[in-house]
Amino acid sequence: MNVSYRNDPARLAGLVQPGRIHRDAYINPEIFDLEMERLWSRSWLFVGPADIVPNPGDYWRTTLAGQSVFMMRQTDGKVAVFMNRCAHKGAEVVLDTQGNVGKLIRCPYHAWNYRLDGSLLSLPLKNDYEGSGVWESPAGQGLAQPGAVREYRGLVFARLSPEGDDFETYFGEVLAILDLVADRSPEGRLELTGRPLRSEIRCNWKMYLENVNDSVHPISAHESAANSAKVVAGRMAEGAEKELAMEQLLPFGAGYTFYTKMGAKLLANGHSIHGTHFSIHSGYAAIEGYEDMLIAAHGEARAREVLSFSPQNTILYPSMAIKANPSVVRVLRPVAVDRMVLEAWALAPVGAPDILRKQAVNYSRLVFSPLSVVAHDDLRLFESAQEGLHTQGNDWISLHRGLSGDADPELPHEIEDGNDEIMMRNQYRAWAQGMAPAGEKA
């Protein structure tokens, strides 16, 4: 029997229950379509760093909620985002990931030409269109644009749907983490170190995002990486300066107790800050001259705030996870119910000591590259869980850890125990709200 979730809101809502999630949330293609159409289209999603398109006509092509889009620098210096679909017959107007279109965007199929602002400039055999109604139709309006676009601290976000929260309301308090990352630069801005590392993973996007809030898995899943780091560190002469890779990998061996005390903050709309007390990034060696540099730029109070706060991970639900120190941004691009692309962007605080750039690039390669000594542990397990969920015998995944009393606390909500699965339950709270049919939002 094929019962549609689309036509049965109660059945859809029943996928999320206290402490457990029905496996259909991960393996049912109809759920994936509804996620893209409802939750992702109405959420603010990360498009890319604005400086990947420095000059007019530069573009960066990506996907939002599974749809092809591109952002492009305009002649007035602003960045615009377009749906990558020709107004004529739907061909993608830019085909490469990155490039420059020159003075106009020419569709490669039949040469309809658009201005950089997306409006239709010209088309071949124009006279043949006289009286056809094309200029009054959607085709004559040029390239479509997302419902809303916003650049914040050099990062471009968009919401596909014209309906939904404005940028500040949607992200709320979590924007302070973007400020924190940017203020690690004395100039208050980040720059690219290059294009992102991209890996295609055969798992549902939620499996990846839950893992970002999962501090229990490193002890088992990343045991080999942590142990190898310990062996290498043991061979090094006592007092010798720690290699960057060692400094970044050794904390993976921290035990359960470490994470139990790490703390977290849950925010509305699925966002969270993990590691509010400390994290595996808190113990990095101080960098000579950096503190003075930040004090001169931001004042003493702000400089200390920036240097003393290195959360483990911050989630900007549903498309983004950020590390402040090192400054690495992970972005989820869902492709299908069992497939996603992960982008890892290493960003560098402008004007800061060069070691910060190295830390970001190195961390991204060491931990998020599919060729790293860490990422493949996770990817293998995500893909295995995606397979395993098709196995009969239990329709549910468990998110019971730490569940007692009020399952839906008032937000924002601070917790002490960094291992509490309440962070994942908080993601599902936003998921359930976002999946409700329009007009039934809480």
Binding site for ligand FES (CB under 6 A): 86, 88-89, 91, 107, 109-110, 112
From Fe ion, ligand FES, none, which one binds at residue 254 (CB under 5 to 8 Å depending on kind)? none
Residue 100: its H or E element = strand 98-100
The gap from C-alpha 89 to its chain's centroid, in whole angstroms, comes to 31
Of 227, 230, 190, 224, the C-alpha closest to 348 is: 190
- Minimum Å gap between C-beta 107 and ligand FES is 3
The gap from C-alpha 366 to its chain's centroid, in whole angstroms, comes to 19
How far is Cα 319 from Cα 100, in angstroms, rounded to an integer?
A: 26
Q: Which is nearer to ligand FES, 125 or 240 (CB)?
A: 125
**3-state DSSP percent of the chain in helix, strand and coil, to 5:** 35, 20, 40
Q: Where are the beta strands (DSSP E) in 211-327?
A: 264-266, 272-274, 313-316, 320-323
Q: Which is nearer to ligand FES, 92 or 179 (CB)?
A: 92
Residue 189 near residue 173, CB atoms below 8 Å: no
From ligand FES, Fe ion, none, which one binds at residue 86 (CB under 5 to 8 Å depending on kind)? ligand FES
Q: Which is nearer to ligand FES, 86 or 315 (CB)?
A: 86
Q: What residues make contact with Fe ion under the rule CB under 5 A? A: 378
From Fe ion, ligand FES, none, which one binds at residue 181 (CB under 5 to 8 Å depending on kind)? none
- Minimum Å gap between C-beta 90 and ligand FES is 6
Residue 154 near residue 183, CB atoms below 8 Å: no
Q: Which is nearer to ligand FES, 101 or 246 (CB)?
A: 101
Angle between helices 422-435 and 205-212 (to 10 degrees): 140
- Minimum Å gap between C-beta 73 and ligand FES is 22
Residue 411 near residue 267, CB atoms below 8 Å: yes
- Minimum Å gap between C-beta 62 and ligand FES is 20
- Minimum Å gap between C-beta 259 and Fe ion is 12
The two three-digit tokens of residue 60, written as one number? 């960066």
Residue 161 near residue 152, CB atoms below 8 Å: no
From Fe ion, ligand FES, none, which one binds at residue 109 (CB under 5 to 8 Å depending on kind)? ligand FES
* Residue nearest to Fe ion according to CB distances in the complex: 378
Q: Which is nearer to Fe ion, 36 or 399 (CB)?
A: 399
Q: Which is nearer to ligand FES, 86 or 94 (CB)?
A: 86
How far is Cα 179 from Cα 271, in angstroms, rounded to an integer?
A: 16
- Tokens 């650049």 -> residue: 151
Q: In what order do the strands lie in the sheet with 155-159?
A: 45-49, 155-159, 148-152
From Fe ion, ligand FES, none, which one binds at residue 378 (CB under 5 to 8 Å depending on kind)? Fe ion
- Minimum Å gap between C-beta 177 and ligand FES is 41
Q: Which is nearer to ligand FES, 139 or 225 (CB)?
A: 139
The two three-digit tokens of residue 269, written as one number? 């709309």
- Minimum Å gap between C-beta 81 and ligand FES is 19
From ligand FES, Fe ion, none, which one binds at residue 403 (CB under 5 to 8 Å depending on kind)? none
